[in-house]
Amino acid sequence: MYFLKRLAIGAVLILASWVAPASAGSPPIQLPDLGTNHSASVQSSAATAADALAQDAKCTRCHDENEAKPILSIYQTPHGVKGDARTPTCQSCHGPSEKHLAGDKTGKGIPPPDVMFNKHDYPKSAASDRSAICLACHEGTQRTHWDGSAHQVNGLACNDCHKVHSAVDPVRDRLTQAEVCMTCHKDRRVDIHKVSHHPIGEGKVTCSDCHNPHGSTGPYLLKKATVTETCTTCHAEKRGPFLWEHQPVVEDCTNCHTPHGSNIPPLLKSRAPFLCSECHDGPHASPSPFGAGVAGLQSTMSGFAASGGRAPSPSPVGAGRSCLNCHSMIHGSNSPAGAFLHR
Amino acid sequence: MKSVNGILSVKSLALAIMAILPLAALAQDDDVSILTRPTSFIEFGGLYADQNSAEFGQYNGLNKSRAYLLGNFSVRGGDAYGQGAGTSLWSIDGTDLGTTSRSLDATIRNQGKWTFGVSYDQLRHNIGDGDNYETPLQGSMGGNAFTMPAGFGVVSTASKPVAYGTQALTPAQQALFHKVDVHSDRDNSGFTFGYTFNPQWNVQFDWNHVEQSGAKLMAAATDKNSTSAGFALAGYSLGGESIQFIMNPTDYTTDNVDLALNWAGARAFFTAGYFGSRFRDHNQSVSFPNPFTGSNVANGTVLNGAYAVDALSTMPNNNFNQANFSGGYSLTPTTKLVGGYSYGRNTQNAGYVNQDQMAPGGLPVDSLRGRVIVTHYDLKLTNQTTKDLILSIGGNYNKRDNRTPSYTYDFLNLGSEQQTVVNIPLSYSTTQGALAADYRISGNQRLHAAYEYEKTSRWCNNALANNAQGELSATNAGYYTTASCVQIPRNVENKFVVNYRLDANDNLDFNAGYSFADRNATVNSSFYNPMQGNSEGFEDYGYRAFFDASRREHMLKAGANWQATQKLSFSLDGRGTYDDYTDSPLGVQQGHSASLNFDSTFAFSDKATVSAYASWQRRTRGLLSASGHNAVAPLPTTWTNDLADRGATVGFTAKRSGLMAGKLQLTADLSYSLDKTGYVTALNYTNASCTAPSSGGYSCGPVPEIRSALSRARLTANYAIDMKSTIAFGYIYEKLDSNDYLYNFYQTGFTSAIAMPTNQQSPSYTENVLFVAYRYSFR
């Protein structure tokens, strides 16, 4: 809390220094009049739609069904529901674009619209300008932490992931979202091919089930404040609290697991006993070096002193699930006799 | 941002078929209504998989060699479509209906007013496949009581120093093994409702209900002291820590509820929400028999009395209720303040499993009365006064305050030793802060710099937990005197980040970044590990858990995207990290990771595209440990263990459309992945042998490499019969070549004499799948 207090003081000082008036950083936006009353009480949806389509017609008289990009598909999306007074028109997002509408007055070609979301005949607008258009309506809720988020500071804008004109936005479809994310996060395509993986490629788990790409207060853009809170949303059986807790489980599941995929089931970063040895050098056999014996290969050697002269390998301490052969309640135990996570 | 299609090579049937249907009829018809009205479809067909494989069928339901029904549909409607004046939209979708990976959902909404939806999703996690898990235990998969079959007798744990390969089980006992198809199912039902009061206010409600069934395999050790009167009368003694792999039931119910009230004004927004999660396990314990006896008992002796019965606890019921508040305020058009607060209460009070034999001294309480308070604060101020400079400062605080009471529990451990242990409810908090600036150096260059701070504190809330050692060590004087509940009561990490981006031109961009993080741990050098009894010992001097030890971490990354021509593009990026654990005399010493990714796409024409990609990863970890117990000074008998984990994937996708007068589209997806994981142990002290197992049965040297090679090919053809009808047909080939030493331990004849084999095999398979589907599209 002391740090937070210092942080607050710092914030106030910086705020005081930011006395410069707001500059016109973004082009003017013609947003629908959201008003304070419900749209239906102001105007019928038919009239609302007629007005909106008339506005759109300024653009669709040229940009019609013959465009190489099927821009009219936007009428299959929430942005095309013209009976909803909140729905934007073309100019809400692309700006008034008066010079563009005026046509080629100088003989140098038609000037670009005020805001270009993708590079076609004109260069695309700055990411901050493109995002500002969307955030004018979509601020708050999941976008609360967009400003300063990892995707924003890496130069991304909303339409770098979303396809607003498409009938189905791939990043909002469970079956295709991962492919959009892996356009940049290429390491993940290796992970989801591994023998142990969350069913991301199968469309059963999506990136946005765990992450909020618009920004968050959690690590790795997680939707929840902590890794553990995120994981136990689905794996609620591991939430506890248990009578006997295991510190790395309580603090962060990724201490032992790698969530996207692993060569070591189940989604482990390493395998027992080596995984356990990264923290434990405690009782019985764990301080002993483990080599090929953990592979469970039988040996003709005798003299497993600790077991009264039985065949030495494979040892249940090192082979198979190793430590987890006995400490099977590794996520926590609620048995009064389970202090060592045996039961 | 370069996209390579088909990178997933997905198993999902819906994706394998639906995603590539060309809808050629639509492409030929540019009528406005086709663009503005939704296309619905119904798709059905058949699929045949030629092999049994739990691994191939993992998550797609094709785990048996047989024919499957293919069924997908999507029907949409509403008066808002087609530039209509209405605001209603509805849809019903079904995917993979003929398999255990089916899903259904339906939504209807009056946009701007309300929305309502229901969904159902099924997911099967295969553990065994009828040919992959064997057991003599009797009891249903998903049940919680298992018994030995009549006449099984006892398992001999007698020494067999040379006759390896035949120890433990007699032919008669092996004949009593049977195969079980083990799997765990998730049936996930959802309900969502949203209502918009006015443009400023709306409410959203989501409820998710998950029914889990089936089982997962879990190792279970038996307690030689949990004998029965029958054993005693028969004169048997049990064999110690003996292991079986049992079907641990996953008979769970989870309900998650999200409720949010949102408000948005001209300069501010606010959300007040509730998250509730309720977990119920319908079993309190799992009981299983102990068929192991001491070495003096003849192999295969049939027991007259009852088997000793042991029990595992199951996951306890728990509740989590959380209130969440977040909001933001625009101080100026370019300066924004956002923040949030949440308060959560996690409780658990499931009754303890009755294990009188294991707790002869009785229980201090009948249930945990577990209570954890989870709180969160965050605050962030951002300023974008100019396009050239974006500033942000923020922080957040998370606290897990475990208020569960501590008691002393007396019980018998697996070695029949009586233990007295105090439960240690761990609390911790993290305080994080970040100061960042994003500066545009020139029109096409940006520099991002940040400083991040993180402090983690750990503690216990009661005196009993803080003094859990209970006694001073007579032989290791001073070791227990100031013991607390954690080894590292505090970490502080400072991190510096710098990233550079260059848009050289419209066709070439480049980025690079570096970060350095320095984490310092405050070590309680007299820490006593509360996870074990005093008599069991404690971590050796200088041993540190990697996740909270002092560490310096360097990260370097770079990437470039190049649109060489309108038809040809390339992308290359890489990343590397190096971790150095600077204050860990023993434990993890260093870690390293590196990755490289390459992509290229070439469009021959608007009807022919080929894409290729390659990714490579490598990760290492170095561990230093020492042989010995309970050392209070540095041990000279050190040894090392090095992990090397490597993975690579290459893929190729080709698409060709416009064939046969635009009616035929062909797609090919090929990929190959190879993953290898290995460990090498080396001894640093003299008189150590690396070639022969010592008295402990272990040796140094490398373990066999864990290797998985996955090859996939998917060939699909789509033929448009007419405007409404399309036929898709294709072939899927997958081969997994898996070699994992883990499974050696499970084999009859190779299993340790005190472990019951399961005969599970590495999940290799070669699968050929043929499919054909007919799609009828309509509007």
At B24-49, the pLDDT tens digits run: 344 444 578 888 899 999 999 999 99
Other beta carbons within 10 angstroms of residue B114's beta carbon come to 14
Chain B residues whose CB is inside 8 A of the A321 CB are 219, 742, 745
Which of B60, B317, B369, B752 is most worth mutating to test chain A (most A CB atoms within 10 A of its CB)? B752
Which candidate, A44, A31, A271, places its Cα nearest to that of B703? A271
Residue type, A255: N
Searching chain A, which residue's CA lies closest to the CA of residue B95? A175
List all residues 6 or more positions away from A185 whose beta carbon is below 8 Å from its beta carbon. Answer: none
Joined tokens for residue B265? 């004004």
Write out chain A residues lying below 8 Å of B419, CB-based. 339-340
At A36 the pLDDT is 42
Scored b (16 or more CB within 10 A) or e, B613-647 reads bbbbbbbebbbbbbbbbbbbeebebbbbbbbbbbb
- Residue in B551, B520, B562, B527 with CA at minimum distance from that of residue B541: B527
The overall longest dimension of chain B from CA atoms, in Å, is 91
* Residue in A closest to B681 by C-alpha: A291
CB contact under 8 A, B378 and A252: no
Q: How far is A201 from chain B (nearest CA, A)?
A: 5
A278, B529: Cβ pair inside 8 Å? no
Which of A43, A71, A186 is the best substitution to test chain B (most B C-beta atoms within 10 A)? A186
- Please answer whether residues A208 and B17 qualify as being in contact, where contact means their C-beta atoms are separated by less than 8 angstroms: no
Q: Which of A171, A250, A281 to mutate to test the interface with B (most CBs of B within 10 A)?
A: A281
Residue B517's nearest CA partner among B487, B491, B489 is B491
Helix (H, G, I), strand (E, B) or coil at A326: helix
Q: For chain A, list residues with pLDDT below 50.
A: 13-29, 33-41, 300-312
* Interchain proximity B587–A270, CB inside 8 Å: no
Other C-beta atoms closer than 10 Å to the C-beta of B304 total: 10
- Characterise B299 by phi-psi region: left (phi > 0), alpha (psi -120 to 50), beta (else): beta
Helix or strand (DSSP H, E) at A277: helix A274-277
- Using an 8 Å CB-CB cutoff, list chain A residues near B55: 195
How far apart CA A249 and CA A270 sit, in angstroms, is 15
Look at A240 and B164 and tell me if their CB atoms are within 8 Å: no
Q: Whole-angstrom Cα distance, residue A143 to residue B26?
A: 35
Mapped onto helix, strand or coil, the DSSP state of residue B116 is strand
Smallest CA–CA distance from B591 into chain A, residue? A278
Shortest Cα–Cα distance, A96 to chain B (Å) = 20
> Among B394, B396, B404, which residue's Cα sits nearest to residue B376?
B396
Structure tokens at B585: 């005399």
Q: Are strands B586-605 and B543-544 parallel, antiparallel or unpaired?
A: parallel
Q: What gap in Å lies between CA B158 and CA B151, rounded to an integer?
A: 20
Q: Which residues of A touch B132 (CB under 8 A)?
A: none
A53, A174, A343, best to mutate vs chain B, most B CBs in 10 Å: A343
Q: Does B399 touch chain A (CB under 8 A)?
A: no
What are the beta bridge partners of residue B336? B330, B382
C-beta pairs of A184-189 under 8 Å, 24+ apart in sequence: A184/B1, A186/B573, A186/B597, A186/B599, A186/B613, A186/B615, A187/B575, A187/B595, A187/B597, A187/B615, A187/B617, A188/A260, A188/A261, A189/B7, A189/B8, A189/B613, A189/B615, A189/B649, A189/B651
Nearest partner of B537 among B408, B410, B631, B422, judged by Cα: B631
Cα distances (angstroms) measured from residue A113 to each of A33, A72, A91, A92, A94: 22, 17, 9, 12, 6
Model pLDDT, residue B631: 65
Beta-bridged to residue B247, according to DSSP, are B217
Contact criterion met (CB below 8 Å) for B688 and B658: no
The alpha carbon of residue A211 is apart from the nearest alpha carbon of chain B, in Å, by 16
Q: Do B262 and A302 touch (CB under 8 A)?
A: no
Of the partner residues B164, B539, B623, the one whose CB lies closest to the CB of residue A311:
B164
Which residues of chain A neighbour B648 with C-beta distances below 8 Å?
A: 190
Q: How far is A106 from chain B (nearest CA, A)?
A: 25
Task: For residue A1, give how far its alpha carbon lies from the nearest alpha carbon of chain B (Å).
Answer: 7
Minimal-distance CA residue of chain A relative to B511? A154
Mutate one of A43, A193, A242, A322 to test the B interface: name it (highest B CB count within 10 A): A193
Q: With contacts defined as CB-CB under 8 Å, which chain A residues touch B2?
A: 183
A-chain residues within 8 Å CB-CB of B56?
none
Q: Report the Cα–Cα distance between both ends of chain B, in Å, rounded.
A: 34
Copy the structure tokens of residue A341: 């996570």
CB contact under 8 A, A316 and B384: no
- Residues of chain A in contact with residue B706, where contact means CB-CB under 8 angstroms, are 263-264, 271
Inter-chain contact B86–A83, Cβ cutoff 8 Å? yes
How many inter-chain contacts (A to B, CB under 8 Å) are there? 617
Q: What are the C-alpha distances in Å from B744 to residues A192, A298, B675, B753?
A: 26, 9, 19, 14
Cβ contact B411–A248 (<8 Å)? no
Rounded CA-CA distance B65/B52 in Å is: 5
**What's residue B159's pLDDT?**
52
> Per the CB < 8 Å rule, is B312 touching A284?
no
Distance from CA of B770 to the nearest CA of A (A): 18
Residue count of chain B, please give it: 779
Q: By C-alpha distance, which of B515, B511, B584 is closest to B543?
A: B584
From residue A134, how far is each of A162, A223, B205, B705 by CA, in Å? 11, 21, 24, 51
- Phi, psi at B698, each rounded to 5°: -115, 165
Other residues' Cβ atoms within 10 Å of the Cβ of residue A2: 8
Provide the total of helices (H) and of strands (E) in chain A, helices listed first. Answer: 14, 2
Instruction: Report the pLDDT value the prediction gives residue B291, as an integer from 0 to 100.
Output: 82
DSSP state of A186: T
Pair B773, B727: CB distance under 8 Å: yes
Q: Tokens for B723?
A: 């405007």
Whether residue B443 lies within 8 A of chain A, CB to CB, comes out as no
Say yes or no for a CB contact (<8 Å) between B690 and A291: yes
With tokens 């290229």, the residue in question is B600
Closest residue in chain A to residue B163, using alpha carbons only: A300
Say how far apart CA B751 and CA B293 lie, in whole Å. Answer: 16
User: What is the distance in angstroms between the Cα of A99 and the nearest Cα belonging to chain B?
Assistant: 23
Question: In this structure, is the dihedral angle defined by the CA atoms of residues B96, B98, B100 and B104, taken in order, positive or negative?
Answer: positive
Q: With CB atoms and an 8 Å threshold, state whether A193 touches B398.
A: no
- Residue B625: CA atoms inside 13 Å, Cβ hemisphere, count? 30
Low-confidence ranges of chain B (pLDDT < 50): 1-11, 18-29, 161-166, 225-226, 228, 230-231, 295-296, 477-483, 530, 691, 693-697
Closest to A124 measured CA to CA, from A100, A167, A97, A159 = A159
Q: Do A65 and B32 touch (CB under 8 A)?
A: yes
Question: Nearest CB to B269: which of A123, A140, A179?
Answer: A140
Q: What is the pLDDT of residues B3-26, one digit of tens each?
A: 443 333 334 555 555 444 434 344
- In this structure, how many other beta carbons lie within 10 angstroms of the beta carbon of residue A67? 15
Contacts of B368 (CB under 8 A, 6+ apart): A241, A242, A243, A334, B316, B348, B349, B350, B352, B404
CA B70 distance to own-chain centroid: 29
Ramachandran area for residue B151 (φ above 0: left; ψ -120 to 50: alpha; else beta): left
Using CB atoms within 10 A of its CB, is residue B270 exposed (0-12), middle (13-18) or buried (19+)?
A: middle
Q: How does pLDDT run across A215-264, given as a tens digit for each residue?
A: 999 999 999 999 999 999 999 999 999 999 999 999 999 999 999 999 99
- From A23, A201, A341, residue closest to B11, measured CB to CB: A201
The DSSP call for residue A64 is S
Q: How far is CA B724 from CA B36, B159, B717, B728, B778, in A?
A: 17, 73, 17, 13, 6
- Residue B120 near chain A (CB below 8 Å): no
Nearest to B37 by CA among B78, B86, B91, B94: B78
Q: Which residues of B touch A86 (CB under 8 A)?
A: 112, 199
* B504 contact partners, CB below 8 Å, separation of at least 6: B444, B510
Residues 170-189 of B with CB under 8 A from A: none
Residues 187-206 of B with CB under 8 A from A: 197-200
> Quick check: A301 and A312 in contact, CB under 8 A?
yes
Instruction: Let me know: does A281 contact B625? Beta carbons within 8 Å.
Output: yes
- Tell me how far apart the alpha carbons of residues B773 and B149 are, in angstroms, rounded to a whole number: 48
